[in-house]
C-alpha cells in the first residue's frame, strides 16, 4: 500500500560513530554478463551506487576482481546496525541503461546487521542455467484475468457521491456478463476488491472492524448479493485483507492503550522511544499517553503483534469467517514483508516467513482452493521467498512491471526479455501476478507519457506473457492519475455526460479532466479504442490454453525493439511478437532453439486478428526471416504445421480414419469439415470450446466407408450463435479418435 519512493532523492547519508561502524562486503558475479557479451573485463569496470555514496557520485566506488574469477567485490566501512540502504550495481559509473534493473527497476535493499554483512549476487539477478522450467501444478487462478477495484470509485447507486456495492453489482455485466457467446464485455474472470471493511479512511487500509462492511459501501447483505451475482457470472472474488496493521480507532488498540490486560500485548509497546527508523527513513515508534507503540506506516496504523497468540487466533478466525461463512474466493494480502520484526531487521525475517506458512496451512484447511496473493514490494529474488515452502500462492511481480513499462518507454525489449526469463525460471511454474501499475503508483498512461500506442503495446505484453494478470480499474480506458493517491484512485469514467456517469450527486473525488474522451461509452463504439483492444486481448487469453498454461521460450530478435517468444502447451503453440517502438520494424529475423521452434513450413493465424493468415518457414537453424511489425504492433500467431514437421492431429494414420482441416479456416459464419472412414461404423462428431465444454454435436450415428463431410454454422445445440474464438472438432469412430482445431471470427 506504499508508494515507491526514490531513495536517491530522499535518503541522506548517516554518519556512524567509530563505535557503531560496521563494514559490508559487496560481491557481484559477472560471468554470465561476460558470456553474453554485455561486459568486457578488459575495458569495462563495475561499480556500486547507493544511498551511502551519493548514488555513485561521492565517491565513485568501483569493485575489483583480484583473482580473475569474474566475481567483483569491495568492502566498505561506516555503516550502522539497523541502517537501511538501497543500491544498484552499474557499468563504468554510468546511468545509461546498462545499470541493474534499468528504467523502472527496483533498487536493491539491505538492512545492516551487527556483524557478518555480506551481499553476494549475480548482476541483474541473472544466473547461468539451462532455461528449462519444470511444469508444475496449475490452479483456477491460472485461468483467470483479475480486475482491481476501489469500490468507492467504481459506481454510485444512490447519489451520495460514493461508489457502493449495489453500484458495483449493477456494473458486473460490463466486466463479464456470464455469457460465453457474447464478446462485448471486458471478459475478466476475477475481481480484487480493495478494502471493504469499516474504516475511518477513504482507502480502508486501517480497519476498525475486520468483519464489518464499510457503511459507505452498504451492508453485508449488499456484499453477499454482489458475491452471488459475481459467482453466477463465473467471476471469482478476492478481497484485501490487511493483516499487518489496523486503525488506531480499532477497539483492540483503544483497549490496548488503556492498559487493558486482555489487549495490551495485541500491539508492541515500549516505555521509552527505541529510536528505530523504517525502510524509508520514517519514525516507526509513536508516542501515546501509555507509552511508545510501533507502527511501520504511520501513527494511525499500529502494527499488530503476532507474538501474542490471541492476535494470530483472532486474525486466522477472521479469515475463516470470510471464506466459510461469507464465501469469498481468497485474499490479497497487504504489506506481507513486515509481519514480524527483529532487532536490526524489519522485513522478510524468519518470523515473517514462518507466519505465512502458518497462515497458508490454516486457510487451506478451511478452503483448499483459496487464493492468497501477496504484496511484497521488493526485488524478485526476495519476493520468491513468499511463494515457496507452502507460503502464499502468488505475489505481485513489481520488477517485471517496471521492465514492461521501461521496454515500451525506451523502445528496447532487451531488459524485458531478460527479466521475463528470470521471473519465469525463478517462481514455481506460472505462480506470480503480473500488472502494469496499481493503486499506489502513477497510472500506466501517465508513466507512458499519455501515449496510447505505448499503452496498447504494454497491455499486449503483459496479457500474453506468463503469469496471472491483474488490470487496474480504468486502465483499460486510459484513465490518468499521478502524485497524490486520491488522483490515482479517482472515479471510474463511464460516459461523457455529467460526472462521467459515476454518480448523480457530487463525486467524493473530482472526475479526471480527460473523461469526455476516455470513457466506456465513447470507446465501446470505437473499434480502435484502448478499451476494445483490452477486450480483444482478454478474450484471446481466455480462449488460448497456451497463453494461460503454456511454457515460455524467448527468441532472439534481430531488432532490439521487438520482443518475441513462444507459448506452448499440449494443445497449442503461439508465437508472440511485440514492437516496443513507434517505428515500424521490417526484415526482422527471429532465432530460437529446438525446444521452441520446429523446422518446416507452418500456417499461422493471428489470434488477435484472425484475418491475418500466412505461411512461414522455420529453417533447420531454427530461424524465421523477413517478419515485419508496425509501430507498437502486437501479434499472437497460432501455429498449424503444413510440411516438414511431425504429423499433426488431422493426418491420415495407418487405420485410414481421417479428419481434415475445416475449410474455410478461419470462418464466418459457417465452415465445412471433411473426414473419411476406413469401414462402416458408428461415429460421433462434437465441437468443443477452449474450456473443454461440448457446445455442438454435428453427427451421431452409423455411416458407411469413404469420404464424408458435415457443415457447421457456428451455433450451439440450441441454435444460438456462439462467439468468436478457437474451437475443437472431435471425431470418434469405434476406438479411434481424431481432433482438429478451427477458428471462428465474427
Give the residue numbers annotated as catalytic, written as ranges.
334, 375
Cα distances (angstroms) measured from residue 655 to each of 662, 676, 737: 21, 11, 11
The overall longest dimension of the chain from CA atoms, in Å, is 95
Angle between helices 414-426 and 398-410 (to 10 degrees): 160
Q: 325-363 as b/e, with b when 16 or more CB fall inside 10 Å? A: eeebbbbbbbbbbbbbbeeebbbbbeebbebbeebbebb
DSSP class of residue 323 equals: I
CA 314 to chain centre: 30
Rounded to the nearest 5°, which phi and psi values hold at 715?
Answer: -110, 160
Cα-based distances in Å from 698 to 652, 665, 683, 710, 730: 21, 17, 10, 7, 10
Compute the C-alpha angle 518/540/566, nearest 5°: 115
Please state, in angstroms and rounded to a whole number, the distance separating the CA atoms of residues 193 and 469: 15
Secondary structure of residue 426 in the 3-state scheme: helix
Count of CB atoms within 10 A of residue 387's CB?
23
Q: Is residue 707 a contact partner of residue 674, using CB atoms and an 8 Å limit? A: yes
* Cβ 236 vs Cβ 140: under 8 Å: yes
Phi-psi region of 125 (alpha: psi -120 to 50; beta: other; left: phi over 0): left
CB atoms within 10 A of CB 642: 16
Pick the closest to residue 150 from 432, 400, 487 (CA basis): 487
- Three-class SS state of 676: strand
361: helix, coil or strand? helix
The contacts of residue 144 (CB under 8 Å, 6+ apart) are 188, 189, 190, 236, 468
d(CA 736, CA 713): 26
Percent composition of the chain: helix, strand, coil (DSSP 3-state, to 5): 25, 30, 50
Long-range contacts of 248-253 (CB under 8 A, 24+ apart): 248/206, 248/295, 248/299, 248/300, 248/301, 248/302, 249/200, 249/206, 249/208, 250/207, 250/208, 250/209, 251/208, 251/209, 253/302
Segment (H or E) for 538: helix 530-543
List the end-to-end C-alpha distance of the chain, in Å, as a whole number. 42
Q: Rounded distance, CA 512 to CA 450, Å?
A: 14
Backbone angles phi and psi of 263, in degrees to 5? -130, -5
Say how many C-beta atoms besides its own lie within 10 A of residue 452's C-beta. Answer: 16
Q: How far apart are CA 16 and CA 299, in angstroms?
A: 27
Distances (CA, A) of 143 to 140, 189, 369, 538: 6, 8, 13, 11
List phi, psi (to 5°) of 147. -135, 120
Cβ-based neighbours of 642, under 8 Å, separated by 6 or more = 600, 601, 602, 603, 615
Amino acid at each position: 500500500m506504499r508508494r515507491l519512493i526514490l531513495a536517491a532523492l530522499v535518503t541522506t547519508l548517516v554518519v556512524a560513530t567509530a563505535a557503531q561502524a560496521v563494514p559490508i562486503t559487496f560481491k557481484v558475479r559477472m560471468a554470465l554478463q561476460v558470456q553474453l557479451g554485455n561486459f568486457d573485463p578488459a575495458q569495462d569496470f563495475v561499480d556500486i551506487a547507493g544511498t551511502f555514496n551519493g548514488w555513485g557520485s561521492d565517491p565513485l566506488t568501483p569493485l575489483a576482481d583480484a583473482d580473475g574469477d569474474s566475481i567483483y567485490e569491495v568492502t566498505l566501512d561506516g555503516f550502522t546496525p539497523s541502517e537501511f540502504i538501497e543500491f544498484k550495481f552499474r557499468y563504468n559509473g554510468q546511468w545509461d541503461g546498462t545499470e541493474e534493473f534499468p528504467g523502472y527497476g527496483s533498487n536493491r535493499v539491505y538492512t545492516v546487521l551487527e556483524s557478518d554483512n555480506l551481499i553476494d549476487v549475480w548482476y541483474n539477478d541473472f544466473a547461468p542455467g539451462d532455461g528449462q522450467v519444470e511444469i508444475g501444478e496449475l490452479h483456477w487462478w491460472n485461468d483467470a484475468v483479475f480486475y482491481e477495484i476501489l469500490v468507492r470509485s467504481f459506481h454510485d447507486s444512490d447519489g451520495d457521491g460514493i461508489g457502493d456495492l449495489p453500484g458495483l453489482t449493477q456494473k458486473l455485466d460490463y466486466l463479464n456478463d456470464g455469457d460465453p457467446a457474447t464478446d462485448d464485455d471486458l471478459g475478466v474472470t476475477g475481481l480484487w476488491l480493495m478494502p471493504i471493511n469499516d474504516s475511518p479512511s477513504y482507502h480502508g487500509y486501517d480497519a476498525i472492524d475486520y468483519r464489518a462492511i464499510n457503511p459507505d459501501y452498504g451492508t453485508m447483505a449488499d456484499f453477499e448479493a454482489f458475491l452471488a451475482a459475481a459467482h453466477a457470472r463465473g467471476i471469482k472474488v478476492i478481497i484485501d485483507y490487511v493483516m499487518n496493521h489496523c486503525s488506531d480507532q480499532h477497539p483492540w488498540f483503544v483497549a490496548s492503550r488503556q492498559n487493558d490486560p486482555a489487549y495490551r500485548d495485541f500491539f508492541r509497546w515500549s516505555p521509552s522511544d527505541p529510536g528505530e527508523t523504517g525502510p524509508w527513513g520514517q519514525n516507526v515508534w509513536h508516542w501515546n499517553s501509555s507509552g511508545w507503540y510501533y507502527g511501520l506506516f504511520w501513527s494511525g496504523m499500529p502494527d499488530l503483534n503476532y507474538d501474542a497468540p490471541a492476535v494470530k487466533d483472532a486474525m486466522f478466525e477472521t479469515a475463516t469467517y470470510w471464506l466459510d461463512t461469507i464465501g469469498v474466493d481468497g485474499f490479497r494480502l497487504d504489506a506481507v514483508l513486515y509481519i514480524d520484526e527483529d532487532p536490526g531487521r524489519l522485513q522478510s525475517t524468519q518470523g515473517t516467513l514462518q507466519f505465512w506458512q502458518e497462515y497458508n496451512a490454516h486457510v487451506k484447511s478451511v478452503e483448499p482452493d483459496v487464493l492468497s496473493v501477496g504484496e511484497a514490494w521488493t526485488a524478485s529474488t526476495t519476493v520468491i521467498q513468499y511463494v515457496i515452502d507452502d507460503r502464499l500462492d502468488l505475489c505481485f511481480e513489481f520488477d517485471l512491471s517496471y521492465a514492461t513499462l521501461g521496454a515500451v518507454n525506451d523502445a528496447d525489449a532487451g531488459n524485458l526479455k531478460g527479466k521475463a526469463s528470470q521471473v519465469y525460471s525463478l517462481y514455481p511454474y506460472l505462480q506470480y501476478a503480473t500488472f502494469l501499475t496499481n493503486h499506489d503508483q502513477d497510472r500506466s498512461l501517465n508513466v507512458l507519457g499519455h501515449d496510447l500506442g505505448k499503452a496498447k503495446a504494454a497491455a499486449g505484453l503483459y496479457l500474453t506473457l506468463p503469469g496471472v494478470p491483474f488490470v487496474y480499474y480504468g486502465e483499460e480506458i486510459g484513465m490518468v492519475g499521478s502524485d497524490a493517491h486520491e488522483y490515482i484512485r479517482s472515479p471510474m469514467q463511464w460516459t461523457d455526460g455529467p460526472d462521467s456517469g459515476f454518480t448523480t450527486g457530487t463525486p467524493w473525488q473530482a472526475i479526471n479532466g480527460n473523461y469526455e474522451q476516455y470513457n466506456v461509452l465513447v470507446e465501446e463504439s470505437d473499434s480502435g479504442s484502448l478499451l476494445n483492444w483490452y477486450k480483444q486481448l482478454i478474450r484471446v487469453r481466455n480462449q488460448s490454453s497456451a497463453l494461460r498454461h503454456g511454457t515460455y521460450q524467448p527468441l532472439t530478435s534481430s531488432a532490439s525493439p521487438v520482443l518475441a517468444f513462444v507459448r506452448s502447451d499440449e494443445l497449442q503453440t503461439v508465437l508472440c511478437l511485440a514492437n516496443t517502438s513507434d517505428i515500424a520494424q521490417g526484415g526482422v529475423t527471429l532465432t530460437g532453439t529446438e525446444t521452441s521452434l520446429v523446422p518446416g513450413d507452418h500456417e499461422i493465424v493471428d489470434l488477435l486478428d484472425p484475418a491475418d493468415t500466412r505461411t512461414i518457414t522455420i529453417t533447420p537453424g531454427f530461424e524465421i526471416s523477413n517478419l515485419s511489425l508496425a509501430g507498437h504492433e502486437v501479434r499472437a500467431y497460432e501455429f498449424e504445421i503444413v510440411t516438414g514437421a511431425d504429423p499433426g492431429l488431422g493426418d491420415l494414420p495407418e487405420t485410414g480414419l481421417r479428419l481434415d482441416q475445416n475449410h474455410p479456416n478461419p470462418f464466418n459464419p459457417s465452415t465445412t469439415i471433411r473426414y473419411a472412414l476406413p469401414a462402416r461404423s458408428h461415429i460421433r462428431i462434437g465441437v468443443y470450446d477452449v474450456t473443454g465444454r461440448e457446445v455442438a454435436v454435428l453427427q451421431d450415428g452409423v455411416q458407411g466407408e469413404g469420404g464424408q463431410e458435415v457443415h457447421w454454422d457456428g451455433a450451439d445445440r440450441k441454435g444460438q450463435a456462439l462467439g468468436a474464438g478457437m474451437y475443437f472438432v472431435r471425431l470418434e469412430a469405434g476406438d479411434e479418435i481424431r481432433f482438429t482445431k478451427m477458428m471462428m471470427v465474427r
